[in-house]
Amino acid sequence: MIQSNIIASSFCLFGWLLLIFSCKSPSAPDISGVTVTLQLKRFEKDLFALTEHDYHSQIDALQQKYPVLFPFYFEEIGGWNLANDSTGALKDSIWKYVQSPFSQALYDSTMLQYSNLASFEGELLQSMKYFRYYFPEAVIPEVVTLINAPPAFTAGNDLLCISLDKYLGPTSAFYKYDAETVPYYLLRRFKEEYMVSNCIQVLATGSFEFGLSGKKLLDAMVYNGQVFYLKQKLMPGIPDSIITGFEARDLAWCEENEPEIWKFFIEYKMLYSAEPLEFSKYVTEGPSTSGMPAEAPGNIGSWVGWRIVSSYMKRHPEISLPQLMGETDAQKILTESRYKPAR
């Protein structure tokens, strides 16, 4: 593996000072005639509305209202076994969970910021209209909010979930206790402007899945680039930093050093590596990219993949977004993109 001090001199160390973004958003289509009904439910409000009087029957009603999320939340995330609750002991545990000081404080803090979700709902609805415009046959998922869960995820086939407590701001007291396990590159995105982006990320990867088995680094780079490109189309006008999760200075550094980044992948024959343990560091999030200068952000291969896909689509304006997302031949996309960054 190349050592960072060997190639550092060929990278511009001050590229992050440039006030630029990597991929400019193309003009957005007219969606004024697109009709979408967005169903949004507030699981956290219903859960924390439980009262001590007959909470067993209230929990039964909650389970009926959320037949997919309820078992997912308490079994898959919480690790509880709901199947063997003939005595009602698990319902008692759910009640204790709701009444615990930590849960109450987390819920109260979340409601102070997100009791009303009109802004989020409006922005998400806009993105879903673009999704319907490009994919007329696609199912628009039901959206459910909750707390004390991953930032955004899917449950079942058509349920998009977002945990509101993961967007209270990086300085929230609820994140301090977890400082060792939630690094800065993740923590800095625990804020409102990433809510819709994370939802669209989950929607994209769930709608167009990628199986790692038998794949090469190039496949993963191009797939992630396709996802970024799709997000850009579904969220026109949104800064690239929100689309990708990169900081603006990281995007500027990548663009300034794009020829050297590409040269690294070519010279060290990384594109066709079929060892996930070897190439995953280039296409997964992290504070930096091992083997490159310290300024190189994590997930840098996905950024390159985005550039490849953008070049491919620029050269092939006749290709629709569904056609792009259905294309699984990464080598074809690379070849026809004629991607070759130069200063």
197-243 pLDDT, tens digit per residue, is 999 999 999 999 998 788 999 999 999 999 999 999 999 999 999 99
Whether 202 and 214 share a structural domain: no
Provide the 8-state DSSP code for 120: H
Has residue 8 been placed in a domain? no
Residue 28, in any domain of the structure: no
Instruction: Based on the fold, state whether residues 194 and 272 are members of the same structural domain.
Output: no
Tell which phi-psi region holds residue 281, choosing left (phi > 0), alpha (psi between -120 and 50) or beta: alpha
Per-residue pLDDT tens for 145-199?
999 999 999 998 899 999 999 999 988 988 864 556 678 888 899 999 999 999 9
Q: Tell me, yes or no, whether 17 lies in a domain.
A: no
Residues 187 and 243 grouped into a single domain: no
| Residues pairing with 93 in the sheet | none
Q: Is the pLDDT of residue 1 over 50?
A: no
Residue 42 host element (H or E): strand 40-42
**Which has the higher per-residue pLDDT, 261 or 15?**
261
pLDDT at 180: 66
Residue 35: the pLDDT is: 96
Domain limit, last residue, from 207, 223, 256:
207
Of 328, 168, 306, 321, nearest to 243 (Cα)? 306
**Residue ending a domain, choose from 182, 207, 232:** 207
Same-domain pairing of 152 and 236: no
Q: Do the domain assignments include residue 228? A: yes
Cβ neighbors of 117 (< 8 A, separation 6 or more) are 40, 42, 145
In a domain, 6, yes or no: no
Pick the more confident residue, 292 or 9: 292
pLDDT higher than threshold 60 for residue 14: no
On the question of pLDDT at 79 being above 50, the answer is: yes
Residues 6+ apart with CB under 8 A from 229: 23, 306, 309, 310, 313, 324
pLDDT at residue 17, as a whole number: 31
Cα 183 to the center of its chain, rounded Å: 16
Domain total in the chain = 2
Q: Are residues 197 and 66 in the same domain?
A: yes
Domain shared by 91 and 105, yes or no = yes
Q: Are 242 and 316 contained in the same domain?
A: yes
**pTM for the whole structure:** 0.89
105 with 93, same domain? yes
Q: What's the mean pLDDT in 276-280? A: 90
Answer yes or no: is pLDDT of 27 > 80: no
User: Is residue 34 included in any domain, yes or no?
Assistant: no
pLDDT at 3 over 60: no
Whether residues 217 and 115 share a domain: the answer is no
Do 214 and 278 have their domain in common?
yes
Residue 245 corresponds to which tokens in the numbers above?
């999760």
* Dihedral, CA of residue 320, residue 322, residue 328 and residue 329, to nearest 10: -10
Report the pLDDT value the prediction gives residue 313, as an integer from 0 to 100.
Answer: 98
- Residue 11 domain-assigned (yes or no): no
The answer to whether 296 touches 253, Cβ cutoff 8 Å, is yes
Q: Does some domain include residue 144?
A: yes
| CB-based contact 127:234 (threshold 8 Å) | yes
Q: Which domain holds residue 233?
A: 210-337
Domain stops at, among 207, 231, 251: 207
Q: What 3-state class would DSSP assign to 142?
A: strand
Kindly tell me if the per-residue pLDDT of 102 is higher than 90: yes
> Do 277 and 314 share a domain, yes or no?
yes
Same domain, 77 and 195: yes
